[in-house]
Amino acid sequence: MIQFFSSLRSLTFAGGILLLSTTTQAAPGEGEIKPLAIGAAAPDFDLPGVDGKNHRLADYAAADILAVVFLCNHCPSAQGAESRVKALIEAYADKSLQVVAISPNDPLSVRLNELGYSIYGDTLEEMKLHAAEYEFNFPYLYDGETQSVSLAFGVSATPQIFLFDKERRLRYSGRIDDSRFGEPDTIKKHDAREAIDAILAGTAIAEPVTRAHGCSTKWAAKRHLVGEYNTTFKAKPVTIEKIDEGGVKALAANTTDKLRLVNLWATWCGPCLAEMPHLVEIGRQFETRGFDMITISTDAPEAIEKAGTLMKRFHAAMPDLTGGSVLEEGRRTNNYLYAGSTDSLAEALDPEWQGTLPHTVLIAPGGKVLHRFSGEIDPTELRRVIVKALGRWYAPE
């Protein structure tokens, strides 16, 4: 993993002697984040977009109103706002409004369990995939490398919108509307639209600054928190136990409120070993959503030590929230070895399983199999299925 150093070291040669010079550079987000003031000029930018081109403030000089919206891939509030951004574009299609979205986040400052609502993380390459999958009809730019543009705007959260007039003076900043949810029918007040209407009419905006509601900006200064999170996980114990037919039936019945992923594997199965790191990562990613990743080895009973050794190498430990929920069920682990026949395992877990390995099933609360993967998983497709089952944003009760 790329490491961020607040003390940047550069090596130079002078007269054949290796010189070490040290300069101190503050990480983005270390100091006070000051929000752009109403009336301030639009900060200049030159940022890469998901279309493979660089985008500049001057590129949008023709528009009477410029809306700069800070979004990102992983945040549920930002994902819920995507339909609002598209609706803005549609509502003002006959007006001179230009919408530009920017992702402010440093991808290395996002913990795995912060990705529980998303298929993709916040890298530029993943932004390209996200924008294509959800059919973005607006420029989507990446500021995660230096975060200099985000600092200039003083972005506090995603989503957050900044509206500039023809002279590119800030007229409104804050929320798009008053809803915290993704469903459009939960909106009661369209703050950004009211501000746009006022700018177009040449009148004062009643409330030019509102509070943005969403995920905090992931500044590079917080990378150490991700490192601490990963170190803590690496210190967790990895365990494995034998399980019988009754135990597997109980897992398959899934009387919990969790979405349950069960993977059948073996120590001698190459595709099983190839996919295991992805499964461990997925188990960590969705721990905050009520999610359970369970492995069941189909090796002979005497191979339990070998299976356990491999699981330790993959570090298939239980994340904190998963571990807590497992204890509440009266279980001690999420890694098992089945000491029985293939037929009895199939009947207990998934009668449609033909015996090939690996085999993975996604089980809803109540025991319904939502999806099954026979053979090595496609990690992105598995995440897509999980997110579809759990939802991309907070939903009202």
pLDDT at 30: 77
Do the domain assignments include residue 71?
A: yes
Do the domain assignments include residue 19?
A: no
Which of 185, 219, 253 is a domain's end point?
219
CATH of the domain at 374: 3.40.30.10
Do the domain assignments include residue 87?
A: yes
Sheet holding 369-374, edge to edge: 241-243, 335-338, 291-297, 259-265, 359-363, 369-374
Q: Are residues 146 and 190 in the same domain?
A: yes
Q: Are residues 362 and 242 in the same domain?
A: yes
Rounded alpha-carbon distances, angstroms, from residue 48 to 29, 69, 72, 159: 21, 15, 14, 19
Do the domain assignments include residue 18?
A: no
Q: Are residues 185 and 314 in the same domain?
A: no
Q: Are residues 175 and 298 in the same domain?
A: no
Domain span holding position 313: 234-390
Q: Are residues 190 and 249 in the same domain?
A: no
Which of 190, 219, 248 is a domain's end point?
219
Q: Are residues 54 and 188 in the same domain?
A: yes
Question: Residue 391: CA atoms inside 13 Å, Cβ hemisphere, count?
Answer: 13
pLDDT at 34: 93
pLDDT at 7: 33
Residue 193 to residue 187: CA distance in whole angstroms = 12
Q: Are residues 241 and 122 in the same domain?
A: no
pLDDT at 25: 67
Tens of pLDDT, residues 236-290: 999 999 999 999 999 999 999 999 999 999 999 999 999 999 999 999 999 999 9
Q: Are residues 211 and 243 in the same domain?
A: no
Residue 317 to residue 295: CA distance in whole angstroms = 11
Residue 299 to residue 267: CA distance in whole angstroms = 7
Q: Are residues 97 and 136 in the same domain?
A: yes
Q: Are residues 246 and 379 in the same domain?
A: yes
Taking CB atoms within 8 Å and a gap of at least 24, the contacts of 353-357 are 353/264, 357/264, 357/265, 357/266, 357/269, 357/271, 357/272, 357/298
Strand pairing class (170-174; 259-265) = unpaired
Q: Are residues 305 and 181 in the same domain?
A: no
Q: Are residues 254 and 190 in the same domain?
A: no
pLDDT at 22: 39
Quick check: pTM over 0.85? Answer: yes
Q: For residue 335, give the nearest of 377, 306, 368 by alpha carbon.
A: 306
Do the domain assignments include residue 163?
A: yes
Do the domain assignments include residue 342?
A: yes
pLDDT at 8: 32
Do the domain assignments include residue 3?
A: no
pLDDT at 269: 98
pLDDT at 29: 78
Do the domain assignments include residue 15?
A: no
Residue 213 to residue 175: CA distance in whole angstroms = 7
Are the C-beta atoms of residues 392 and 181 closer than 8 Å to each other?
no
Percent of the chain with pLDDT over 70: 93
pLDDT at 1: 38
Which of 219, 243, 259 is a domain's end point?
219
One pLDDT digit (tens) per residue for the chain, 397 residues = 333 333 333 333 233 333 333 345 678 877 889 999 999 999 999 999 999 999 999 999 999 999 999 999 999 999 999 999 999 999 999 999 999 999 999 999 999 999 999 999 999 999 999 999 999 999 999 999 999 999 999 999 999 999 999 999 999 999 999 998 999 999 999 999 999 999 999 999 999 999 999 999 999 999 999 999 999 999 999 999 999 999 999 999 999 999 999 999 999 999 999 999 999 999 999 999 999 999 999 999 999 999 999 999 999 999 999 999 999 999 999 999 999 999 999 999 999 999 999 999 999 999 999 999 999 999 999 999 999 999 999 888 7
Domain count, the chain: 2
